[in-house]
Structure 1
Amino acid sequence: MTPAVIWLVLGLVLIAAEVLSGEFVLVMLGGAALAAAGVSFFVAGVLPGAVVFAVAAGLLVFAARPALRRRLDHGIEHSTMHAKALVGASAVVVSRVDGHGGRIKLRGELWSARSCDGHEVIEEGATVTVMDIAGATALVVGRD
């Protein structure tokens, strides 16, 4: 087997293994192996591929990976902050809300909703307060 094929197989295996880890290390190493495969295809010998792998792996793991992690973590943090910002907001019931479900209009959007205690029944048109967000469902209490 030629060095280019070995690097190519190694790169593909590392990228596939990333599915199990989810830390973006293996995919960076896989990308470096693919770069080494490209160099090994055009330049004979094992050493040029190994040098390219080492340099590319260092750049990808220590430069690209942190930037990618920050970007992805910011997206998760932003959506969590958005949900927390809805707690305490007022909404209007558009379909009867009880312990099993219902619909509310919250800041111009339709949301699934349940009563917080699971027993309260809130009729259409009533105003409610959002006490928590559980996934895509608002947990609400009626206003008296």
Structure 2
Amino acid sequence: MAEFLTQWAWIVWIALILLFVVIEMMNLEFTFLMLAVGSLSGLVSSLFSAPWWAQIIIAGVTAILLLFLVRPALHRRIHRGADPAKSNVEALLGLSGSVVKAFDEGRGQVKLANGETWTARLGTDSPLQPHDGDRVVVTAIEGSTAVVEPAERTAPQ
């Protein structure tokens, strides 16, 4: 049985390489690319008639080394020129705004500094209810609701 596995392991390695490359093309995180290269090292060791258990060890060690040494460097290099500007929800956190519709039972409406109007709720159970025109700061986004605090409370002391 061991001789059979050693003789035909190259087919398994080719199938794994193809599978990992297809998965990598779908997610583009370089994880499965590193596994595919690890499988390639298993295929090469198979061509040199290494026993099946040695092929697995060689492929595994190669994949782990690539995952921890090459993949992070590759990510840094690719994201080096990325736009540092925050976007989506990250861009809204800490953004100031003013109350458009007074808060009633902790809920109201605010217009943010970027011009967007959001339904909002207070982040704490404070007795202070912001009124029209009061300044607020976004502390979180929960679905389509901005969680806000009065600007005085969030200012550095």
Larger Rg: 2
SS state at 1:75 partner: coil
How far apart are 1:10 and its partner, in Å? 0.4
Describe the superposition over 1:48-75 as per-residue Cα deviations: whole angstroms up to 9, x where unpaired. Answer: 1101111101111000000000000102
Q: TM-score, normalization: structure 2?
A: 0.47
Aligned twin of 1:16: 22
Q: Which portions of structure 1, spanning 4 or more consecutive aligned residues, are displaced by more than 6 angstroms?
A: none
How far apart are 1:5 and its partner, in Å? 1.8
**Aligned pairs for 1:55-70 within 5 A:** 55-70=61-76
Cα distance in 2 between the residues matched to 1:21 and 1:38: 26
Cα distance in 1 between the residues matched to 2:74 and 2:17: 19
Aligned twin of 2:46: 40
The answer as to whether partners of 1:35 and 1:56 remain within 8 angstroms in 2 is yes
Cα distance in 2 between the residues matched to 1:46 and 1:70: 35
Q: TM-score, normalization: structure 1?
A: 0.51
Cα distance in 2 between the residues matched to 1:22 and 1:5: 25
RMSD of equivalent CA atoms: 1.7
The answer as to whether partners of 1:25 and 1:61 remain within 8 angstroms in 2 is yes
| 1:26 equivalent among 28, 32, 40 | 32
In the alignment, structure 1 segments of 5+ residues that lack a partner are 81-144
Cα distance in 2 between the residues matched to 1:66 and 1:17: 19
The answer as to whether partners of 1:15 and 1:31 remain within 8 angstroms in 2 is no
SS state at 2:68 partner: helix
Cα distance in 1 between the residues matched to 2:80 and 2:27: 20
How many pairs does the alignment contain? 79
The answer as to whether partners of 1:18 and 1:25 remain within 8 angstroms in 2 is yes
1:51 aligns with 2:65: no
Instruction: State the identity as a percent.
Output: 30
